[in-house]
Structure 1
Amino acid sequence: MIDIREIKTIEQLEQAQQLEYNIWGMPSIPIHQTLTAVKNGGIVVGAYDGEKLVGFCYGFSGFREGKSYLCSHMLGIDENYRSQGIGEKLKYAQQAIAIERGYDLMVWTFDPLETRNGYLNLSKLNGICYTYIENCYGEMQDGLNKGLPSDRFEVSWYIASDYVNKSVSIDAKNATPVANCVQNEQGFLYLEITENLKYNSDLYTLPVPKDFQALKLQDPTLALDWRFKTRRILQQLFAQGYAAVQLQQQENYNEYVLVKLETLGLEGAKQYENNGMYH
């Protein structure tokens, strides 16, 4: 049975540091930084199988445009414990602690083409995305990111809102596709963009690969094409006031569902131009 606990001590943070290295294979965050964050509004939560740490999420206090929030920087699960709902449990534990400490907003980033993360962040947690950051972390050299610009969605999770704390279901049957998946001669799907969109529909959908890491291994050039085309479309949609709110699964691909941000009833959610990002 997996037990979820808040992490506070140096010894626990050392366990998280080792797990971080095991997952990503990059230099881990120094203990002096994570300990300082924990003592100053940050939150670290661990998932334990007995006394073995098998997952963690780490967040620190952030401040922007006169508002404080929790920046949830990292979530990682031991590869032998994935697809068991542990990430969702960690986020809900993090949410409960954050609300108790006075936060009402949490933000973090993820690759929009990594649809397992998209499904958790949007369809399960009811986060939304209306900020697109080009090459967010520069050229990363770990196995998941090497060879592509590190583009990211920023998730805005309004943790105390009715939107987050109710069951959200959006019927996208009548949505307008902003692009179509077409099969090439090698049998891989590529993105064919729908031109001359007026961005006046209530709902839009954007196809994305089911397994982007597999596609990247099989055809790196096609993976890069997906990156640049989805970047262009999502930046246009966000600039027109849309937000990605769900990740739905189709037979051969997944798709994001996008609606007007103003229709979600989220107080404090606004969009404005800021160095190419919309928040």
Structure 2
Amino acid sequence: MGDPVVRELHELDEFREVERLYDEIWPQVAGQGRVLTVELMRALDHAGNYVAGAYRDGRLVGATVAFFGAPIGETLHSHATGAVAGSGVGFALKRHQRDWALARGLRRITWTFDPLVRRNAYFNLVKLGARPEEYLPNFYGDDMVDAVNSGDRSDRVLAVWRLTDPRVRAAVGEAEPAVRDADAGARAESALVERDGRPVPVRTDAEVVRVAVPSDIETLRRVDPEAAAAWRSALREVLGGLLDAGARVIDFDREAGYLVARRG
């Protein structure tokens, strides 16, 4: 497949397409509201914010909606990005969003994501070069209305994408890839591990630690809600505690999870 065509959206019919796509990606619990409405997208666009769609063969396959955030004149906050899975659409949307932000003199894009979702963490940290900088317990409250998140506490981390950082420039193909710090991974000790499907925190004073996540939290929510809740609590305690204490996430491994440095 070729790269999707990404462009800004301004018309009501286009916003209706986005609304339908988001309903497919985040199915709503019966009788509840939507992730984003046509009316809100219209208002955001009219106020000069960012609404864009990705098209392949004339069909909408992804969309992203963002608005200006604080610090004013520096930040774009990306509220919702949804795409057809496994087709490179998400990466194309983020590149377009970055170009749009840079053209307006912005320096960073932020967004929130569920730190338990392994594929999202890998995409954000490894594919894009963003970094989680703040842990946000139950950010959207207990009343999320989509079927994907319903029934779970809405903990999120704030990802910060520093648009001209060498790591980010390498991720989007503007610079040579940086050499990953193999030494950091080699000396890391586990702070959270998985045993028999459950999380087990491990006491360690190591300067670099590994924080595990389950292989598929979305399936686990359906088949073993108690285990999913245990993972939520454990990650809040371990990863949230590390970030609150000033540690920084320096990498993510699909199997081993987050690599976190306590200092530096």
TM-score normalised according to structure 1 size: 0.82
CA contact (8 A) 1:37 1:61 kept: no
Residue pairs, 1:12-161, within 5 angstroms: 12-26=14-28, 27-28=33-34, 29-64=36-71, 68-77=74-83, 81-139=84-142, 140-161=144-165
Match of 2:212 in 1: 207
* Contact 2:221 2:228 (8 Å CA) reproduced: yes
SS at match of 2:70: strand
What is the DSSP-based 3-state SS (H/G/I as helix, E as strand, rest coil) of the residue aligned with 2:40? helix
List structure 1 runs of 4+ shifted beyond 4 angstroms.
Answer: none
Alpha-carbon distance between aligned partners in 2 of 1:92 and 1:127, rounded to the nearest angstrom = 13
Equivalents in 1 of 2:250, 2:145: separation in Å? 30
CA contact 2:73–2:106 (8 Å) conserved in 1: no
Deviations along 1:228-251, one digit per CA (max 9) or x if unpaired, are: 01100112211222122322122x
| 1:203-246 per-position Cα deviation (integer Å, ceiling 9, x unaligned) | 22101011111122221101100000110011221122212232
Between the aligned partners of 1:170 and 1:39, the Cα distance in structure 2 is 44
Per the normalisation by structure 2, the TM-score is 0.87
Structure 2 CA distance, aligned partners of 1:90 and 1:157? 14
**Equivalent AA in structure 2 for residue 193 of structure 1:** P
Question: How far did 1:8 drift?
Answer: 2.5
Q: Which moves more between the two structures, 165-174 or 147-156? A: 165-174
Q: Is the 8 A contact 2:118 2:254 kept in 1?
A: no
Q: Distance in 2 between matches of 1:214 and 1:50?
A: 32
- Shift, 1:67, TM fit: 6.0
CA distance in 1, matches of 2:166, 2:258: 22
Name the counterpart of 2:174: none
1:45 partner letter:
A
Q: Distance in 2 between matches of 1:42 and 1:163?
A: 26
**Structure 2: which amino acid aligns with 1:48?**
Y
2-structure distance, mates of 1:137, 1:23: 18
Aligned identity (percent) is 28
What is the distance in 2 between the residues matched to 1:245 and 1:59?
Answer: 26
1:259 counterpart residue number: 261
Deviation sequence 1:9-58 (CA, Å, 0-9, x none) = 33222211221222223333233322232233421221112221111111
Query: Residue 192 of structure 1 corresponds to which residue in structure 2?
Result: 200
RMSD (Å), alpha carbons: 1.9
| Structure 2 unmatched runs, 5+ | 171-176
Equivalent residue letter for 1:7: L
Q: Which amino acid aligns with 2:87?
A: Q
Question: For the residues of structure 2 that align with 1:8 and 1:96, how far apart are their CA atoms?
Answer: 18
Separation of aligned partners in 2, 1:19 and 1:179: 36
Question: In the aligned structure 2, how far is the partner of 1:218 from the partner of 1:148?
Answer: 13
Give a deviation string over 1:85-109, Cα, whole Å, max 9, x none.
2111111111111111111111111
What is aligned with 1:7? Answer: 9
Question: Which sits farther off after the overlay, 52-61 or 174-183?
Answer: 174-183
